[in-house]
Amino acid sequence: MITRILKSVFFKNAKGKAGKYAGNATRLFELAKDVMGKLKGVGFKGNLAEFQANVQLLIRMVRAFASGEYKGLPWKSMVSIVAVLLYFVSPIDIIPDFLPVIGITDDVALVIWLIKTLGSDINKFREWEKNEKTINIG
């Protein structure tokens, strides 16, 4: 399924826009807001709680990058994150989101793929985030 998604016109469209978004802090903050709105609108339960947590992590990465707080994320990784989030917020993709239950399947698959692909970058961000909270609290 992931190969079909990555080769789809829908993902290629998101990927084409991603570079423009990644270089514009205002657009990144708007995208983060749109993604949060969709997460709330879908209302994930049970097995999708982990998916929701992963998307929230990606949103935090985008916000930290956009604000300039976190500089450890390679450009290519940021563009990949933005492409996946643009695909996520798009109502029209390989499996349209208006289809109950299965409409989110492609989004879940794509986020899982991204988390695995960017594992090292994500772990570095988590470590940075943990250290930031420790510094700010202490």
Q: What is the pLDDT of residues 89-121, one digit of tens each?
A: 998 887 776 676 677 889 999 999 999 999 999
Q: What is the pLDDT of residues 6-17, one digit of tens each?
A: 999 999 999 999
The predicted pLDDT at position 46 comes to 67
* Domain chopping of the chain, boundaries: 2-137
Q: What is the pLDDT of residues 27-55, one digit of tens each?
A: 999 999 999 998 887 766 666 888 999 99
pTM, two decimal places: 0.91
3-state secondary structure 48-70: HHHHHHHHHHHHHHHHHHHHCCC
The predicted pLDDT at position 43 comes to 63
The predicted pLDDT at position 44 comes to 60
The predicted pLDDT at position 96 comes to 73
